[in-house]
Amino acid sequence: MQNFIFHNPTKIIFGRGTVPQIGPETAAFGSRALLVYGRESIKKSGLHGQVMNALANAGVAVAEHGGVSSNPVLSHVRAGIAKVREQRLDVIVAVGGGSVIDTAKAIAAGSAADGDVWDFFIGKKFITAALPITTVLTLAAAGSEMNAGMVITNEAADEKFAATSAQLYPKVSILDPELTFTVPPSYTAYGAADAIAHVLEFYMTNTDDDAPVQMDFMEGLIRNVIASCERCLADPCDFGGRAALMWSATLALNGLTGAGLGGTAFPMHMIEHSLSALYNVPHGAGLAVVVPAWLRWRLRQNPARAARLGQQVFGLAPDAEQAVDALRSWFSKIGCPVSLAELNIPEADIPKIAANAHSLARIWRLQDYTPEIIADILALCR
Amino acid sequence: MQNFIFHNPTKIIFGRGTVPQIGPETAAFGSRALLVYGRESIKKSGLHGQVMNALANAGVAVAEHGGVSSNPVLSHVRAGIAKVREQRLDVIVAVGGGSVIDTAKAIAAGSAADGDVWDFFIGKKFITAALPITTVLTLAAAGSEMNAGMVITNEAADEKFAATSAQLYPKVSILDPELTFTVPPSYTAYGAADAIAHVLEFYMTNTDDDAPVQMDFMEGLIRNVIASCERCLADPCDFGGRAALMWSATLALNGLTGAGLGGTAFPMHMIEHSLSALYNVPHGAGLAVVVPAWLRWRLRQNPARAARLGQQVFGLAPDAEQAVDALRSWFSKIGCPVSLAELNIPEADIPKIAANAHSLARIWRLQDYTPEIIADILALCR
């Protein structure tokens, strides 16, 4: 096990009927909130009204900032920062999935900074302050509700970049699995693929062969994502299934899986970010394509880890190729795309995608991933 | 899965060479520290000097409060509170295992209160404030380094009671596995028994049969405690083994295992506390006696959970009796006592022990445990 620091101060309020707590929990941090959300669906479902009532009852004034898209964009973040400044808001409330929460984080950091918020994503500046953030989660996937990271797309530059800071941990996140009963099968599956990808980045890229607590924990999380996703697809209103998927996805990227593993990297996300940036594919769908391909490429260097994955997650004999086949088949079975063709991305675009991903490789210190190597991996996405 | 709140703000600094960080990490919370520790061993090992230097270098003045015993006592807590008040200290630094950290917590809470600190343990008052606490851990066992609980013995009344408050989470805990290289085999084993008992209290007493994420996590922790304890006994300086045991024991009682399980209880600890209170046996040794007996008694109502334990931890067929046998044999194999006789406690004392435990049953809301039932369980400690 390698040295690590683990310090996750987010308060999780989990379970049925917990949404009204967003009022007093937010009021503890501010009295003038920017409410960030996505599409109109939270108005139809009544969640928007429930949150507005809770905030009003707690004495929190609200300015609204809806319209977050999947693969949330920089221009919308900047518009949110402008609202915060104009109206002197002091707390950000996110109601939605990872895209909404990441937008809220970017607004929170950008509002507390002098320069342009994109400087944080290109590594030009570090985040040293942010407005407090509270969240109501509506999608089991990204893990942003209990971590310090965010991903935003600069749509003018086709760049989907990430930034991290301890300032970005939400103060409070409310996780009511019932809010995900209406998530359609496709996004339920993409969310599961996202959560599995988060675990696999740590599981596959760390070079510490003596971290048994973490390995066991990660294998359990993947098993639980698989089992709970299948329950949710069979019955979208299976509370236990939705609860297990939601909590697994949160734990998959809250810092515990990677604590003690030493150097880890996010090469699968690096490549997927280019698919999302260039073709606006859902992040989890892009990952379902990239993850098996990256694993297959990885086997050339390190088959042992994938073989262990196959044993512990799928109950297979220790065979790395079989493990990758099993994961790819499972992604396909739950309705995820598993090839570029299924994303309607022509193979002729591979050089363009590789060049885009390579620009992120520099920032993420993944320089070993040359455009040629990235193209090799993309060629396996079939 | 049941509703829960998870909010653990302790910062963990884990790994080799991390002890000097106790200086700046403590200085962030105060400039006049009470240094709480146990026996002279930390002076011989050089740890005491290392901590004193780190605190001095960070500008933290230190008053010392050594002499914490295993099964730490109330009189020593009160003496620590008196020092804090007389010398107007503002932060508590614990260097030791669970007994030392629990003493530090009790001093931290008692120093911030008007009345007597024991009121918190008998449920007469709630803890609403405490001085900040930082810790350097020297024993993998109790989990106190990352939780909100404490256990103190009122030696005048033969009462070993517990108290909990969010105020008691240490601000920072430093976990260097190398500090445990010198822990003797017996206490290494007792620590493992303690950690396993912590997991089993949640695993066995919760009535939620749909908490798969937590069940998987708990089984992984028990497997890791077993495997890592064996490594430590085979080679006390096996860093990976010490690290896995330390991190497993911390995770076993930091709130994650029980989050979402709904009502759980600590009946095994309740009974063990009477053994410690009356006979001053090491807590982990007492648990190694009580846990298999309680499990055996429990099978009459709920054999399924123990059967699952046997499958997932010991690779057995689903048979509850076999599972208990396997755990008891393992405790015995690593050098723990597994009967009252091995603790030199006569069976004739069972009524006295049962009466003592029953006084705690009222406070812990375990009224179903009549003196007769507790005596039945104790009769199985053979």
Query: Tokens at residue B183, please?
Result: 């822990």
pLDDT at A301: 86
Residues of chain A with confidence (pLDDT) below 50 = none
Q: Could you give the residue ranges of the DSSP H alpha helices within A112-179? A: none
| Distance of alpha carbon A19 from alpha carbon A37, whole angstroms | 15
pTM, entire model: 0.97
- Could you tell me if B208 lies within 8 Å of chain A, comparing CB atoms? no
Nearest chain B residue to A18 by CA: give it. B3
Helix/strand/coil (H, E, C) string of A8-26?
Answer: CCCEEEECCCCHHHHHHHH
Chain B residues with beta carbon closer than 8 angstroms to that of A313: none
pLDDT at A371: 96
Helix/strand/coil (H, E, C) string of B314-325?
Answer: HCCCCCHHHHHH
What amino acid occupies position B156? Answer: A
Chain A residues with beta carbon closer than 8 angstroms to that of B12: 4-7, 259
pLDDT at A239: 98
Q: Are B196 and B291 in contact (CB under 8 A)?
A: yes
Q: Are B105 and B64 in contact (CB under 8 A)?
A: no
pLDDT at A68: 97
| Distance of alpha carbon B79 from alpha carbon A229, whole angstroms | 55
pLDDT at A39: 86
Give the distance, in angstroms, between the CA of residue A78 and the centroid of all CA atoms in the same chain. 21
A3, A18, A19, A221: best to mutate for the B interface, most B CBs within 10 A? A3
Chain B residues with beta carbon closer than 8 angstroms to that of A8: 8
Chain A residues with beta carbon closer than 8 angstroms to that of B228: 212-213
CA-based nearest residue to A131, from A88, A97, A99: A88
Nearest chain A residue to B222 by CA: give it. A213
pLDDT at B91: 98
- Could you tell me if A263 lies within 8 Å of chain B, comparing CB atoms? no
CA-based nearest residue to B33, from B59, B60, B52: B60
B240–A223 C-beta distance less than 8 A: no
**What is the residue whose two structure tokens read 């009222």?**
B362
B240–A260 C-beta distance less than 8 A: no
CA B361 to each of CA A60, A65, A201, B297, B370: distance values in angstroms, whole numbers, following the listed order: 44, 53, 47, 17, 8
Nearest chain B residue to A250 by CA: give it. B213
Q: Which residues contact A16 (CB under 8 A, 6 or more apart)?
A: A176, A177, A178, A239, B3
- Could you tell me if B310 lies within 8 Å of chain A, comparing CB atoms? no
Judged against a pLDDT cut of 90, whether residue B360 lies above it is answered with no
What is the interface pTM, i.e. ipTM, of the complex? 0.97
Cβ atoms within 10 Å of A85's Cβ, excluding its own: 11
Q: Which residues contact A368 (CB under 8 A, 6 or more apart)?
A: none
Q: Are B152 and B261 in contact (CB under 8 A)?
A: no
Average pLDDT, chain B: 96
The beta-carbon neighbor of B1 closest among A212, A221, A244 is: A244
A240–B260 C-beta distance less than 8 A: no
- pLDDT tens profile B135-181: 999 999 999 999 999 999 999 998 999 999 999 999 999 999 999 99
Nearest chain B residue to A10 by CA: give it. B7
pLDDT at A365: 87
Chain A residues with beta carbon closer than 8 angstroms to that of B249: none
Strand arrangement of the beta sheet that strand A32-37 belongs to: A61-65, A32-37, A91-96, A133-137, A172-175, A11-14, B4-6
Q: Are B103 and B94 in contact (CB under 8 A)?
A: yes
Q: Work out the minimum CA distance from B243 to partner chain A, whole angstroms.
A: 7
Chain B residues with beta carbon closer than 8 angstroms to that of A10: 7
Q: Which residues contact A213 (CB under 8 A, 6 or more apart)?
A: A1, A260, B220, B221, B224, B228, B244, B247, B248, B251
